[in-house]
Amino acid sequence: MSVTLELDKSLKVKITLTLFSDVTNSKELRQKLVEGSLQCSIIKPSLVLDTFQLLVAANKAVLSQQQGTLKTKGIYSEILYNLSPSKNITESLKTFGIGENDTSILVLVLNDIDGTKVNSISSVVKGKLASLDTLNMHTNEQEIKKVYKIKEAEQNCGSLLGSLVSRIAVKEIISI
């Protein structure tokens, strides 16, 4: 059910994405993330339009890690932070990360070569494994436009996905 995608070749890193629906223990999962006993990014699927958006954010995070310029405590929080157009870390993690009442979650792990990372996370999640092809069913475009502050004028030029990844790519050098 998980899908593994490669980041830019020079980075030599792969990401694995797993989607869960009907999750009942989000509060507990969130607690484990805060404690550090769960090593992954848990993302709200409603704010994900396309896996390319995740690839761009993860690629940027790994690049920062390799160059020693992470803005947050670790690579997994950095990915969540990068997804957000905001420079406020707490707010970014809150917006894009798992909320206590979320019932669908998207789990992202790095370099899960033999699948053990995903397996150990799956054993903690109380919910159903879902196909990543169903990601679009969870996407909320209105919410995305609100969070990324995409106004009417911008919607007539180029794709929405292009607007999202552009904001991710330039977030520290532009204020929106």
Partner 1 sequence: MDIADNKQLVKQGAEAKIFKGSFLRKPAMFKERFRKTYRHPILDESITKERMKAEARSLVRCRMLGIHTPAVYSIDFSTRVIIMEDVSEDTQTMRMYIDNVQNSNKNDVLKELKPLMERVGQIIATLHKNSIVHGDLTTSNMLVKLGRDRSTPEVIIIDFGLSYVDGSAEDKGVDLYVLERAFLSTHPNTEELFKTLLQSYRRNYGKGSSEVLNKLEEVRMRGRKRTMVG
Give the Cα separation of 118 and 121 in Å (integer).
5
Q: Does residue 9 belong to the site contacting partner 1 (CB under 8 A)?
A: yes
Please count the other Cβ atoms lying within 10 Å of the Cβ belonging to residue 77: 19
Shortest distance (Å) from residue 85 CB to partner 1? 10
> What is the rounded distance in angstroms from the CA atom of residue 93 to the CA atom of residue 61?
14
Number of residues that bind partner 1 (CB under 8 A): 30
Q: How many CB atoms lie within 10 A of CB 171?
A: 21
CA pair distance 49, 12, nearest whole angstrom? 25
Query: Among residues 120 and 166, whose Cβ is nearest to partner 1?
Result: 166
86 vs 163, beta carbon nearer partner 1: 163
Report if residue 57 touches partner 1, rule: CB under 8 A: no
Place of tokens 């798992």: 98
Helices 75-83 and 51-67: crossing angle, nearest 10°? 130
Identify which of residues 37 and 156 has a Cβ nearer to partner 1 in the complex: 156
State the Cα–Cα distance between residues 67 and 110, nearest whole angstrom. 17
133 touches partner 1 by CB under 8 A = no
C-beta of 152: minimal distance to partner 1 in Å? 8
Candidates 2-10, 40-48, 75-83, 94-102; binding stretch for partner 1 (CB under 8 A): 2-10
Q: Which residues bind partner 1 (CB under 8 A)?
A: 5, 7-10, 52, 55-56, 59-60, 63, 67, 151, 153-154, 156-159, 161-163, 165-167, 169-170, 173-174, 176
